[in-house]
Amino acid sequence: MSSLCLLGVLFLCAPTIFFLVSFAQNYPSTLLTLPLQFHQAFNPLYGEGNIVPYDGNNSVQISMDATTSSGFHSKVMYVHGYFQTSLKLPENYTAGVVVTFYACNNHKYPFYRDEIDFEFLGHIHGQKWLLQTNFYGNGSTNRGREERYELWFDPSKDFHRYGILWTENRITYYVDNVPIRNVKRVDGMGGDFPSKEMSLYGTIWNGSNWATGGGH
Among residues 86, 67, 52, which one has the least CA distance to residue 206? 67
What's the whole-model pTM score?
Answer: 0.84
Looking at the chain, the whole-number percentage of residues with pLDDT higher than 90 is 44
User: Is the pLDDT reported for residue 109 higher than 90?
Assistant: yes
* Mean pLDDT of all residues in 148-156: 94
**Residue 12: pLDDT band with limits 50, 70, 90:** low
pLDDT at 18 over 50: no
Overall average pLDDT of the 110-135 stretch: 92
pLDDT band for 144, please (50, 70, 90 cuts). low
Answer yes or no: 147 catalytic: no
Catalytic residue among 48, 91, 119, 150: 119
Catalytic residue among 48, 91, 115, 168: 115
C-alpha to C-alpha distances, 120 to 95, 150, 188, 202, nearest whole angstrom: 10, 10, 29, 11
Predicted local confidence at residue 10, as pLDDT: 63
Report d(CA 53, CA 13) in Å as an integer.
10
Contact by Cβ (8 Å): 85, 174: no
Question: Burial, 78: exposed, middle or buried (Cβ in 10 Å; 0-12, 13-18, 19+)?
Answer: middle
Higher pLDDT, 69 or 57: 69
Domains of the chain, CATH where assigned = 7-215 (2.60.120.200)
Of 10-19, 32-41, 143-152, 196-205, the range with the highest mean pLDDT is 196-205
What sign for the dihedral angle of Cα 170, 173, 179, 180? Answer: negative
More confident residue, 58 or 1: 58
Please tell me the distance from the alpha carbon of residue 183 to that of residue 19, in angstroms, as a whole number.
Answer: 20
Residue 169, judged by CB atoms within 10 A of its CB (0-12, 13-18, 19+), counts as exposed
Classify residue 162 by burial, with Cβ atoms within 10 Å: 0-12, 13-18, 19+.
buried
Q: Is 119 a catalytic residue?
A: yes
Whether 93 shows a pLDDT value over 50: the answer reads: yes
Closest CA to 102 of 214, 176, 202, 215: 202
